[in-house]
Structure 1
């Protein structure tokens, strides 16, 4: 498996996330699946560490609806989603169009940043060990288990989760990240050819990626 290549500036400590994920990659048996980051929230746009109950903003709701419209044409059979409000509301918007009941998963939540919640994420350091929160090792290990479970469900699968999930997922698969895949509610199609995975954004990029925490 190749080492992921990242083409834009990433937060401090991000190399550590990649190294931890790469120690035990995942090898899904499927040849394709879909990923959707949640729509934008108020704190997301303001770059503030969020709690699990942070709701979608009006823009985030619009983004989720746009993603649902695009994904309605894809042959998705299963939706597995973080049970955080912003992700599960996004998943439900898509699920209504696809007539699928989404499966909520606590282990797909964003990293728990403990005492940092409610503070600025501008200087996010993935290698930090926040008081009352998860270490980076704990976060990567949790995501590995969660993604293995999600991608073992009846295919094609749509995973609806968070920016941190996407970072770990790409590192686990050895996929390069381009800026276009990082935006809120950007539907992504992951495709495998032999051992190599690629990512296809399914919507034109309209806004810059917001905070990933």
Structure 2
């Protein structure tokens, strides 16, 4: 086994429960720190907030960029996993609105990490996979339980995702949050059949 294969095998192996708890705390503390301070957030302060040593943090995330990428991937996964729950508990339009609001909040917290994410997420296949996951979540919300689509004919999840991206650029920061909600409402009026 080569060094790269060994690294890949280790990366796929589930963590011990204590190590998983440490990682969860590190990711939560880092997400809060990066949202608050951007990439200037101190790794030492993140470790302290998570209740772990800096060595523990660096063993799992050898660079700040890898930590940022891990936060991004985890939050994309959580956002996508929220779609089935929302579809099961809310009417389709309400579920879609709630998910869109969460998407805007997710994007707003990434503003401080935007430059680092551009450097870290250079792999086009990863970008395409992320877009596909997010579009899949939107599709799930548009057609809950395989029923009829809540969207007008010709509306596709990728189009909605692109529109949400535009809203997040125009009004995704905390100062413009009310504008983002108004734009989401306008978008929904254009989507819903």
What TM-score do you get using the length of structure 2 for normalisation? Answer: 0.29
Greater relative CO (CA pairs within 8 A, separation 6+): 1
Structure (1/2) with the larger strand percentage: 1
